Chains A and B, each alone.
Chain A
Amino acid sequence: MDLSSINPVLLIASLMVSATPILLAALGELVVEKSGVLNLGVEGMMITGAICGFAIGVNTGSPVLGFMFAAICGALLSLAFGILTQYLLSNQVATGLGLTLVGLGLSSLIGKPYEGIKSPTLQKMELPILSDIPIVGPMLFSHDPMVYFSVALVAATWAVLKYSRAGLILRAVGESHDAAHALGYKVVRIRLLAILFGGACAGLAGAYISLVRVPQWTEGMTAGAGWIALAIVVFASWKPWRVLIGAYLFGGVTVLQLNLQAAGAKVPIEVLSMSPYLITIAVLVIISARGNHGAPAALGKIFHASR
């Protein structure tokens, strides 16, 4: 095995690319869970976003339009989840699973004619001055706009949740919907908005996979990334910056694993390809052994205002 063929600069750069979809999806889910809703349909919304974004990207030739449409599709799908769980008071776990199954079916139905086509992809955006720094420049500052956008979104989510009034209300709804309701906040409406945000993020995440990371459409291409995003929210103890760390760690594992496969490591390929999932399990175990810190108190509970 030839470890010298693994270039650390390229490794970090491709780490950021491979972490971005998980980061976006996990960030969306973080906001949803902060509002007290557990949406297990991330995988379904991601894969739907992937094909919707890809289809629009191919047909219009504009990846930007693709991303926008993917966000809309993800949000629409999450709206179905929102109506079911918030207005029809269905079980969130079951509905989330249903959403994933619907998303997988829908995406492979839409995706049939798009198999084997290459899509237009986002151009790299070299940040002026910063990208000229040796080593750090090509590592961190010469990516496509979505990578920067995802990091900016982490900062924005953190700031809004921590410092703004809207963030405070969102957290209050997630900790105790009855108290928030008694104070006159519209619990259902706030949760619905959070769910829509989560759906849009998952849609963007999916489109990033099909438009930038791969960039092609294959059935079931998200391969559990949505579920890993859910695990990363737990890993991060519901804190935005830790979501960033978690997603990048995970991206690192994925990229390293692929690099090792390419470098001809002595480890069997199957072990390498199951490693991201095994590591996710290991991380979940370590986090949960420490106790469940930071989970919103009303997470997954059904709210019905009686009068």
Chain B
Amino acid sequence: MIRLEKRAQPSQFWTFATPFLAVIMTMIVGGIMFAALGSDPFEAIRTIFWDPLFSEQFAAYSRPQLLVKAGPLILIAIGLSLGFKAGIWNIGAEGQYIMGAICGAGMGLAFYPSESFIIFPLMILAGALGGWAWAMIPAILKTRFGTNEILVSLMLVYVAEAWLASVSSGLLKNPEGMGFPGSRNLQQYPASANLEIIQGTGMHYGVLTAFIAVIFAYVLLSRHILGFQIRLTGEAPRAARFAGVNPTRIVFLCLGLAGALAGMAGMFEVSGPAGQITIDFNSGYGFTAIIVAFLGRLHPIGILFAGLLMALTYIGGELASLMLGIPSAAIQLFQGMLLFFLLATDVFINFRIRLDSGEAA
């Protein structure tokens, strides 16, 4: 009989190995899925994971896209990982992302058409504040009334989406837009445009912020007392309380940071790659970032690589739907499966498998 035996210490080896194992398993099962959809599985996997980076035909377009897509994912996932480490389940990053985008774009459009170097920093601030404020709702309700933050933060995603629908055809609608819903294009308004820092690399200010966030989170978690308190709260809540960690403060810190980072990500997206507030400018980054956070082992460096990998599946998925006619929904399933296999293989970190005859001890 197969039986699990608890390890005395979590396995270092498996902590690193399971994300790779999960990716390989996803490729195998995904390949079977693509075969069932009538595509050559090897070609499909190559199109998703190889062609965006190395194909002569597409790489010139795809490589910059890698950073464009990874930027928001990493930024959001860094914020989420702090909360997940502390056992605070903020799954409403999508809502915080939308609110950040609305506030940031609103700030920029309020100044239209004046030109000043201060407008863009103000927009970043507004985006961060918008996301922060949206995340404060579950934080306050959790600390004050003990309300479940999972459900509240998720409900607020739907509220934010309704809000987005409202402003894109109301408050922020482009007055010169011939009646089409959607705001002015922020890319065409130089003071608010989130342009590439280095031409042709996809490296815009949001990506730069994401990299800074990675470094910041790394220092916070490994060198700062707050980071220690976050980890302690997650791993041993009682011990944390005895050690004088204020749980309310941790909730506010984790949700607030996650909200601010998600809000900034939304603002960078709407003033850069998306260009304008539209009813569906958000592409589910807030949810995919949850996968990124777990795939990156809730570790900042891990999240950096996981974000790049997830961005690759987005770009590769687009390419595959273009070249091979694989439905884009298949990629969503592909990403979900990745999380599933990761959680399944994570068992090896804390347990080892023993085979024995099965009689009770």
Contact = CB atoms under 8 A, between A and B. Distances in A.
Interface of A: 40, 80, 83-84, 88-91, 93-95, 97-99, 101-106, 108-109, 111-112, 219, 223-224, 227-228, 230-231, 234, 268, 270, 273-274, 277-278, 280-281, 284-285, 288-289, 291-292, 304, 306-307
Contact of A98 (B158, B159, B343): B343
A224 B152 CA distance: 12
28 contacts: A80-B340, A84-B344, A88-B344, A89-B351, A90-B343, A94-B339, A97-B91, A97-B290, A101-B332, A101-B339, A102-B333, A102-B339, A102-B340, A105-B329, A105-B332, A106-B333, A108-B329, A224-B155, A228-B155, A268-B166, A270-B166, A274-B158, A277-B159, A280-B155, A284-B151, A284-B152, A288-B147, A304-B6
A101 B287 contact: yes
Contacts of A83: 344
Contact of B4 (A89, A99, A227, A280): A89
A224 B347 CA distance: 30
Counting chain B CB atoms within 10 Å of each CB, the highest count among A109, A224, A280 belongs to: A109
B334 interface: yes
B329 A94 contact: no
Nearest to A231: B151
B interface, by DSSP: helix, strand, loop or mixed? helix
A95 B346 CA distance: 11
B165 interface: yes
Nearest to B332: A105
A76 to B, nearest CB: 14
A98 B327 CA distance: 20
Contacts of A292: 146
A258 to B, nearest CB: 14
B336 A105 contact: yes
Interface string B313-348: 000000000000001011111111101100110110
A105 B333 contact: yes
A89 B155 contact: no
A180 B322 CA distance: 55
B343 A95 contact: yes
Nearest to A40: B150
A281 B155 contact: yes
Contacts of B219: none
Contact of A101 (B141, B150, B336, B347): B336
Contacts of B343: 84, 88, 90-91, 94-95, 98
Nearest to B291: A101
A95 B89 CA distance: 13
Given A84-B340, A304-B4, A101 B148 contact: no
A231 B162 CA distance: 20
Interface in B256-292: 287, 290-291
B154 interface: yes
B333 A307 contact: no
Nearest to A107: B329
A307 B158 CA distance: 46
A105 to B, nearest CB: 3
Given A109-B327, A112-B329, A274-B163, A288 B148 contact: yes
Contacts of B336: 98, 101-106
B361 interface: yes
A268 B294 CA distance: 39
B155 A277 contact: yes
Contacts of B290: 97, 101
A219 B158 CA distance: 15
Contacts of A270: 162-163, 165-166
Question: Which of A102, A230, A278: most chain B Cβ within 10 A?
Answer: A102
Nearest to B162: A274
Given A104-B336, A109-B330, A292-B146, A280 B151 contact: yes
A159 B60 CA distance: 65
Contacts of B339: 94, 97-98, 101-102
Interface string B128-160: 000000000000010001111011101111110
Nearest to B328: A108
B287 A306 contact: no
A108 to B, nearest CB: 4
Given A84-B344, A223-B158, A285-B145, A109 B329 contact: yes
A278 B155 CA distance: 7
Given A112-B327, A284-B147, A105 B334 contact: yes
Nearest to A270: B166
Nearest first, the 4 closest Cβ-Cβ pairs linking A and B are A105-B333, A105-B332, A102-B336, A270-B166
Given A88-B347, A89-B351, A90-B343, A277 B158 contact: yes
B244 to A, nearest CB: 25
